[in-house]
Structure 1
Amino acid sequence: MSPGGTGCFSGLLLTVGWLLLAGLRSSGGTNVTAIQDSGLAHEGEGDGEGDGESDEEAENDISNRTVVKEVEFGMCTVTCGIGMREVILTNGCPGGESKCIVRVEECHGPVDCGWGKPISESLESVRLACIHVSPVNRFKYMWKLLRPDQQAIVLANDSAILEVRREVRPLAFECDTLDSNELVATIKFTVYTISELQVRRSRSQPDTDAVLVFVLTIGVVVCVFVIFVLIFIIVNWAAVKAFWGARASTTEIHSELSSVRYKDSTSLDQTPTEIPVNDEEDALSEWNE
């Protein structure tokens, strides 16, 4: 082969080698790009799934927020002044319950509670209490001494409890309960004299006391009578014994007489056929002789 032909052949081989190398590089680059694209695709799919989950959570949150919670209130514990009541949930309770208590809150009735009763009293003094709920120091209290046809006298006591001594005339007191300088309850009391208190107590005694006294009196009388009878029997035991002995003998005699009469009546009631035949023949033979 000539040197020119050898050079052409080597040039051709070099060209083919470069072409093959370029093709391998292009195919390698394509594969890398595909892998990267597939990874990006997976990441995109993952991002899409995450977005879907976040959308579902958002929808659930919205649905939970849009649940209508129906609330009703229980009865207030008082008919006037300050009391407590239950707040009851009738829709949206946990665990599928039909009703559940959410909380207990304060409730207010009419301010005027009229005339009240002392919390304790004796013949010397009376203890009065204002309308309040716990805590006691949350409210302010204003005590007044009421006077007929005159302005009330504000007392220095500002606590919920007032102790008053009885006087020769009845007294009337009023207590105002204030919450944040707002009147929420007021109540009045009458403090009677000692004589009036005794009269009221005697009138308030039930009729059963008289019945109880009558029954107790009858019981005592019966017990005394039984005791006297026992003492009489012990003292006159000989006479009592003789009396019961005579009575017992009389009873025995009467029983014996009744038994004899019964036997006689039974013997008379016997018929002739009941008489033995041998006795009749013996009597006839003796007659003939």
Structure 2
Amino acid sequence: MALRAGGAAGRPALLLPLLLLPLLASLAAGAANGGSAEAAEAPGWRGEPGLNATVSTEVEFGVCTVTCGIGIREVLLTSGCPGTEAKCIVRVEECRGPVDCGWGTPISEGLACVKMPCIYIPPENRFKYVWKMLVLNKTAHILPNDSAIMEVCRDTHSVTFQCETQENGNIIASVKYTVYAKTEMQTKKSRRTETGQSRRTTTDAILVFCLATGIIVTVGVIFAVIFMILHWAAVKAIWKSKSGQDNQDKKLANKRSLCNME
């Protein structure tokens, strides 16, 4: 009987913690959810490590790496940075400019072939690339190439290509290239060669003229110095006679001025 009484009396003591466990668990979960919601709704909260979540922060955006198409920029924090830093980078994000990027510059351009890139940021397989051949007064011809870089060889006539970078069916960048014909490239190359040769010829002529003039002037000065050294007595006599003549002229002028005054 004593054992039964003791067991019956001990059951409420054992059941009480078991009943309280679910209640405590629900309260803990609610507190955790409430704390996270408050932290998420806090105006200055940031998830990055090292930043003070209790201090309200200000964000400043850096300059975009491109003026058209898609690029990247830095997001800077102007307050709440760790240590004594005035600004710190929070993250790097995408930035976009006007879709039309005009005429691009090929990666490589030779007399036979040309490599042309589309506009994108890594990873390049994230986007879809549509290459078109533009024909005057006609509908653009879509090419089967769908890569970010296309290589074409020159034909007998010039061709204009356009690459559209698409994301989720929307065009985010567009760039055009002109691939000149072989004959035009050869003509341009010959013109550049002729222009370079003519510039070199003109520069060489100017240098030769300056050098010859400098040599002539230097030789003349040397001969003049040598002549003065060899005929120093005669030069001295001529100088004295000239000085004496000047003195006489001054005396005569003074006498004439005195006579006029009298």
Normalising to structure 1: TM-score of the pair?
0.51
Aligned to 2:135: 147
Residue 97 of structure 2 is aligned to residue 123 of structure 1: no
1:273 corresponds to: none
> Cα gap change, 1:202/1:79 in structure 2, threshold over 3 Å: closer, same or farther?
farther
167, 173, 191: which one aligns with 2:179: 191
Structure 2 Cα separation of the partners of residues 111 and 175 of structure 1: 11
C-alpha distance in 2, partners of 1:149/1:208?
38
Structure 1 partner of 2:120: 132
CA distance in 1, matches of 2:140, 2:163: 11
User: Is the Cα contact below 8 Å between 2:156 and 2:183 reproduced in 1?
Assistant: no
Distance 1:101 1:66 in 2: 19
> Residue in 2 aligned with 1:270?
none
* C-alpha separation in 1, matches of 2:196 and 2:160: 33
1:28 alignment counterpart: none
The alignment's TM-score, normalised by the length of structure 2, stands at 0.56
Gaps of 5+ in 2: 1-34, 45-51, 212-228, 233-262
Aligned to 1:171: 159
For residue 79 of structure 1, the aligned residue among 59, 63, 67 is 67
Using the TM superposition, give the Cα deviation of residue 222 of structure 1 relative to its aligned residue in structure 2, in angstroms.
11
The alpha-carbon distance between structure 1 residues 205 and 94, as it changes in their structure 2 partners (threshold 3 A), is farther
Q: After TM superposition, give the deviation of residue 192 of structure 1 in Å.
A: 1.0
Distance 1:206 1:101 in 2: 53
Out of 80, 100, 115, which is 1:92 matched to? 80
- Deviation for aligned residue 1:99: 1.0
What displacement does 1:144 show?
0.8
Q: Quick one: distance in 1 between partners of 2:72 and 2:161?
A: 26
Secondary structure of the residue aligned to 1:105 is strand
Instruction: Find the aligned partners of 2:101 and 2:210 in 1 and give their Cα distance.
Output: 53
Alignment partner of 2:101 out of 113, 117, 130 = 113
* Mapping 1:171-250, distance limit 5 Å: 171-201=159-189, 210-216=198-204
Superposition deviation, residue 168 in structure 1: 1.4
- Residue of structure 1 equivalent to 2:220: none
Q: Distance in 2 between matches of 1:222 and 1:65?
A: 74
Cα distance change, pair 201–139 in 1 and its aligned pair in 2 (3 A): same
Counterpart residue number, 1:285: none
Amino acid at match of 1:141: Y
Alignment partners' CA distance in 2, 1:187 and 1:157: 15
Letter in 2 for 1:167: D
CA RMSD of aligned residues (A): 4.1
Count of paired positions? 181
1:215 Cα shift? 3.6
Q: Could you tell me how far apart the structure 1 residues matched to 2:191 and 2:57 are?
A: 56
User: Percent of aligned pairs with the same residue?
Assistant: 51
Q: State the Cα deviation string for residues 48-104 of structure 1 (Å, max 9, x = none).
A: xxxxxxxxxx9xx99954421100101101100111111100011111321111122
Give SS of 1:196's match.
helix
Extract unaligned runs of 5+ from structure 1.
Answer: 1-57, 224-250, 256-289
Residues 132 and 163, structure 2, Cα contact 8 Å, conserved in 1: yes
Q: Which has the higher helix share?
A: 1
The Cα of 1:166 is off from its aligned counterpart by 1.1
Residue among 135, 138, 158 paired with 2:146: 158
Q: From the superposition, tell whether residues 132 and 123 of structure 1 become closer, same or farther in structure 2 (CA, over 3 Å).
A: same
Secondary structure of the corresponding residue to residue 185 of structure 2? helix
Q: Deviations over 1:113-142 (max 9, x none)?
A: 111121111111111111111222221111
- Measure the CA separation in 2 of the matches of 1:203 and 1:122: 16
Deviation at 1:150, TM superposition (A): 1.5
